[in-house]
Structures are given as structure tokens and as C-alpha cells.
Amino acid sequence: MANISCQIDLTQPMGPQGPFDVIVHKLSDVIVEAEHDSQSQELLANFQSFVSVNPSTVLLDPLPAMTRLLDRFASYRIMSKLHNSLRDWRVCSPSYLEIQSADDLSSVQQAVTTLSFPLICKTRVAHGSLSHEMCLIFSGEGLADVRAPCVLQSFVNHGAVLHKVFVVGEKHFCVERPSLKNFPPGPCDRNTIFFNSHHVSKPESNSALTALDEQTPLLPPPSSEAVAALVKELRLQLGMALFGVDIIINIHTHTLTVIDINIFP
């Protein structure tokens, strides 16, 4: 029998459109909008209702798992535990701080003593065009540019190379992309740099922020065994079959460093 695929119309009852053996979805827009939009809430509720009464339908991926990855507070908590579970593979993630609301900003000066400048600031919601708007903060004075809710993450020099790992079930694929250049560690009087990560890390990107000095040594690629161990651990932690991981190699320690986890594009 030939395989038949169809596009589901979420505005209509799903039952008559089925039956479905597998549903591959990217409901990230609906999940994010459901926090403040009643129509999206209804679409999501109808979808969840169908899934609950059709347990034999394989869902790629479960909504609760996707929801976690759309929240950097949740995904970074997962990342922070990788150092323990993957200690033998020298896998880690940078130190970070959650800024929940504007009220937290009054005490952020004291809290960032657990981090190291420069800091990279990212929005809490890991989806949509705004999620790619980031900034590099170089001093305590630069913290005035922080807009809550967000995460502050210690910037790790990595030779302007980003490794994007795409996970599809038990298989994974790794591609190299341009990334931010190295910056001197420690606070300095440099102004905050605002940038869009899409403009920096696309394959065809040509940004001054990715330009390295000629004498900067090339870093070794990530160990394939370490990447495989990382993917295996994240599949277990996330309960997902389709996701992406952004990793860099620390120029000083050569440690494999996880800086983001994303729903699969």
C-alpha cells in the first residue's frame, strides 16, 4: 500500500481527517501564542483532545517536551545538568542566570558575580524573530540594557565556529556555521553589542562579528563519540525525536560546550 500524507486543518475537527498513523507537527507558534490568544488556546486544546483519545497515533514530538524547549529557563536547566551526566566526555554548558522580571534587575549586579564577562543575553522565549535578537554585555554598566524576562549566559571564546547538531530519531547530523569572534575575558568599558543570531550564524553570513585575527589557531572539531553521547543523553532527558543542539569548543580547554537546544527547524 502506498504511503499517504496529508496536511491537517487545525480549524476543523481532526477525527474526520484521520485516521493518522503518525503526526509530524511544528506547533511552536500555536504553543507560544496560546499564552495570550484564546483562538490559539482552542486550537491547542482540540489538538490535545484528539491526541489523548487516539493513543496509537505516534506524535512527533510530544507537546509538553516541545513546550519545555520553547522556554530557555527550562532548557537551560537541562543543559546545566549535562556536566554531571556526561562528565566522562568533558561536556558542559556555560554558567547562566535567569532574569524572571524587571524586579530582578535591581539585584542583578550582585547576582552576576557567579558569571564572567562578557555576558550574552537571550530572550526567555526560544521561538520567533525576537528570540534571535541577542546582545553581548561587557560590564556592570551594560546590564542596563537587559530586558526581562531573559537569560544571561557567560560568553565562551570558541574561535568563531558554531557546530549545529540536528537530531532525527537515532541519527544525528552535524554542520559547521560561523559564530561570534573571540573577546578579551573580563569586564571592560566597551558598549553593548546588539545582534541577530540569524545574521551571524547563517551559512552565508558575512559579519564583522565573526571575523577572527589571522593568528587565531584552528580548533579541533568536536569528538564524534562525545556528540553521540550528548545526543543519547538529550534524547533521554527531552523525550523527543526531532531537535537541534548548538555546541561550541572552548578555545582554552577544548571542552565541548552546549549553548542552546532548539526544536527541530
User: 45 among the known binding-site residues?
Assistant: no
Per-residue pLDDT of the chain (265 residues; tens, 9 = 90+): 446 788 999 889 998 988 899 999 989 888 988 888 899 999 999 999 999 999 999 999 999 999 999 999 999 999 999 999 999 999 999 999 999 887 776 677 777 888 999 999 999 999 877 888 999 999 989 998 998 999 999 999 999 999 999 999 999 999 999 999 999 999 999 999 999 998 888 887 778 888 887 677 788 889 999 999 999 999 999 999 999 999 999 999 999 999 999 987 6
| pLDDT reported for residue 262 | 92
User: 162 among the known binding-site residues?
Assistant: yes
The domain 68-263 is classified under which CATH number: 3.30.2350.10, 3.40.50.920, 3.40.50.10540, 3.30.470.20? 3.30.470.20
User: 246 among the known binding-site residues?
Assistant: yes
Residues of the chain with CATH 3.30.470.20: 68-263
User: 156 among the known binding-site residues?
Assistant: yes
Spatial distance between the Cα atoms of 180 and 159, rounded to a whole number of angstroms: 8
Cα–Cα distances in Å, from 212 out to 18, 151, 258, 259, 262?
Answer: 54, 26, 21, 20, 27
User: 238 among the known binding-site residues?
Assistant: no
User: 260 among the known binding-site residues?
Assistant: yes
